[in-house]
Amino acid sequence: MVVEANDGIVTTAGVVEGFAGAGATGPSLVIAALCTMVAGGIALAGARYAEEAAEREARLAVIEEERRQLALSPGQEMAELVALFEARGLSAGLAREVASELSAADALAAHVEVEHGLSMRDAPSAPLAIAAAAGVAFALGAAIPLLAVLVAPDDWRPGVVFVAAIVSLAITSLILAKLGRTHVRGVMVRSVLVGVTGMVLSLATGSLFHP
């Protein structure tokens, strides 16, 4: 959920910088940041729910179709399984032996895994839980620019939000790189560059409407 937190940081900081560029101060910036936190968190949670629910439904549909095919034509399904193993380089005899043993243990699981790359051992996803976690992660990220707006003096708010966003993006990039076992520098540069670009462009856009 680090990526979702990054989204919260970048989006909220960008909105604050845009409003600040347009001349907004004090309560207006707080309201802008708070509304971004709420709306962004709900929007991201809704998107993740739709994505996970669709993926879950597709997975269940594949399993049900394989169950139906096994019930209607087990011989044909066995032949398909053997052919798939042969395509992976097994000899005809070994492919039939492997297919027979797997089917004897759990025919449905064997077909679903070999034909579609799905494991019956994996627990079905929980769309609501994933959506809630994504929304909370976004809100936590958004809370950083919001907190910066709350504690900084009026004249310093744009700068404090900018620095707070950059520092927090650097920290989340470090966490993301460690979790993904990738190079810290590359992840950090990309995240910070996206954040800086978003905030600068938002500030410039807001400045166009400064009275």
**pLDDT one-digit tens code per residue, 157-180:** 889 999 999 999 999 988 888 887
Residue 103 has a pLDDT of 81
Residue 178 has a pLDDT of 83
Judged against a pLDDT cut of 80, whether residue 121 lies above it is answered with no
210 domain-assigned: no
**pLDDT one-digit tens code per residue, 45-88:** 999 999 999 988 888 888 888 888 888 888 888 888 888 888 88
162 domain-assigned: yes
Same structural domain, 185 and 164: yes
Same structural domain, 39 and 132: yes
Question: Residues 23-33: what's their mean pLDDT?
Answer: 91
Same structural domain, 6 and 59: no
Residue 102 has a pLDDT of 80
Residue 148 has a pLDDT of 94
Residue 165 has a pLDDT of 95
Residue 84 has a pLDDT of 83
| Cα separation, 11 vs 196, whole angstroms | 11
Same structural domain, 199 and 141: yes
Question: Residues 183-196: what's their mean pLDDT?
Answer: 89
Q: Of the segments 57-66, 75-84, 182-191, 199-208, which one has the largest average pLDDT value?
A: 199-208
Judged against a pLDDT cut of 90, whether residue 34 lies above it is answered with yes
Domain boundary among 87, 116, 145: 116
Question: Residues 8-21: what's their mean pLDDT?
Answer: 94
Could you tell me the residue range of the domain that residue 83 belongs to?
Answer: 54-116
CB-count burial class (<10 Å; 0-12, 13-18, 19+) for 211: exposed
The domain tally of the chain equals 2
211 domain-assigned: no
Question: Residues 135-153: what's their mean pLDDT?
Answer: 94
Is the CB of residue 138 less than 8 Å from the CB of residue 4? yes
User: Residue 104: pLDDT band by 50, 70, 90 thresholds?
Assistant: confident
Kindly report the average pLDDT of the chain as a whole number: 88
Domain boundary among 116, 137, 165: 116
Please state the three-class secondary structure of the chain as a single string.
CHHHHHHHHHHHHHHHHHHHHCCCCHHHHHHHHHHHHHHHHHHHHHHHHHHHHHHHHHHHHHHHHHHHHHHHCHHHHHHHHHHHHHHCCCCHHHHHHHHHHHHHHHHHHHHHHHHHCCCCCCCCCCHHHHHHHHHHHHHHHHHHHHHHHHHCCHHHHHHHHHHHHHHHHHHHHHHHHHHHCCCHHHHHHHHHHHHHHHHHHHHHHHHCCCC
| Cα separation, 77 vs 70, whole angstroms | 6
